[in-house]
Amino acid sequence: MKFVCDGMILSDAATTVSKACAAKPVNPIMECIKIKAENDGVILTAYDGEISIEKKVKAEILEEGELCVNGKTFADFIGKISMLEVSIASNEKGIVIRYADSESYMQALSAEDFPRFFSASTDGKEYFEISENELKTLISQIVFCCATDESRPILKGALLVAKNGKLEGSALDGFRMANSSCDIVGGSADMKIVCPARTLTEISRMLGDGDTLKIYADKNSLSVAVQDTVITSRLYAGEFVRKENIYPVDFVTKVSVKRAELIDSIERASVLIRGEKNSFIHFDIKMNKIVITANSEMGKVEETVGAELEGKELKIAMNGKFVLDAVKALNEEIVVLSFNTSISPFTLENAEDKRCQYLVLPVRTSSQQA
């Protein structure tokens, strides 16, 4: 194998692909990038058992071939010489990287040992077509609510349902739930999949601003291509939690508040409870205000935020981070919080655009009663 390539282009590709290298692999080949030189370009591929990222770059191919190198090391090294033209050639021990008047050597493994993964082919797969902007927004609104522990693996992903010209996304971690929707441009059929949160995050990172793209999927895998980058991922199997079984039908208390003021107040209150075992804040919702308090060994915060109340007054305790994450993900000047009792789930949403909504479980305290 031997090729010559622009350093900046190669560095960008290596950095992108290395995100799919396994962090703590049992087999060293799983932390590698496979480099394949053929025809008029070089294909870089990484796969960690769940997600693969493949990117093709233009290069002058002097000799075709393929091999594997440690992904993080290769990406870091090429990043240091990205302003130069790079020549890479293989020998019996590894690869020789030449740049300017210098050269370096890096160990390599045989490409024959690189794991085979699910096909990135779109043959036989259903798809939906969506604006990159719409998809990026939807992912940002739900992915932070995915679970991170292994107790219920399916909750480490987000439910995506494409139906009737809409894409609906849902995610939950057992303490909070996010739901958002957006329009889709088209598709071959209705689709219902559970995609790993990590895959959605990597897809979001490579999205642009104005184009549309197609998301292909079958019961086992998902594939999406953006320009010369292809992400292919396993999908989670199993039945996802139905939001219809969780969301309250009606509410007895609704309070409207300025988003910016609520964010500022919760952030200040959260300073004193940072690192505390009981890191929660209290809302005392009254006719024209919310009194927000937080107590810890460090001190106490008590702030008043103006609000408009519809229904009953209420006192409730909650995880400040969960509420803050949700309010920051909303985007209107006024947000609405809806409650029933001090121990039942409550929701947060924009005052006008209801496509995005969050459900949060309150914190039970000894002084609260249903």
Cα separation, 248 vs 355, in Å, equals 16
In angstroms, the Cα distances linking 299 to 142, 264, 270, 275, 302 are 33, 18, 11, 13, 10
* Tens of pLDDT, residues 250-278: 999 999 999 999 999 999 998 887 766 66
Q: In percent, how much of the chain has pLDDT > 70? A: 96
* Tens of pLDDT, residues 1-21: 999 999 999 999 999 999 999
In sequence order, what DSSP letters do the residues of 280-311 get, joined into one string?
Answer: EEEEEE-SSEEEEEEEETTEEEEEEEEEEEEE
**Mean pLDDT throughout 124-153?**
92
* Tens of pLDDT, residues 65-77: 999 999 999 999 9
Of the candidate ranges 79-93, 178-192, 265-279, 290-304, the one whose mean pLDDT is the lowest:
265-279
Whole-structure pTM value: 0.89
User: Can you give the pLDDT at residue 369?
Assistant: 45
DSSP strand pairing (126-131 vs 253-258) = unpaired
User: Can you give the pLDDT at residue 370?
Assistant: 42
| pLDDT at residue 209 is higher than 90 | no
- What are the tokens at 362? 């309150």
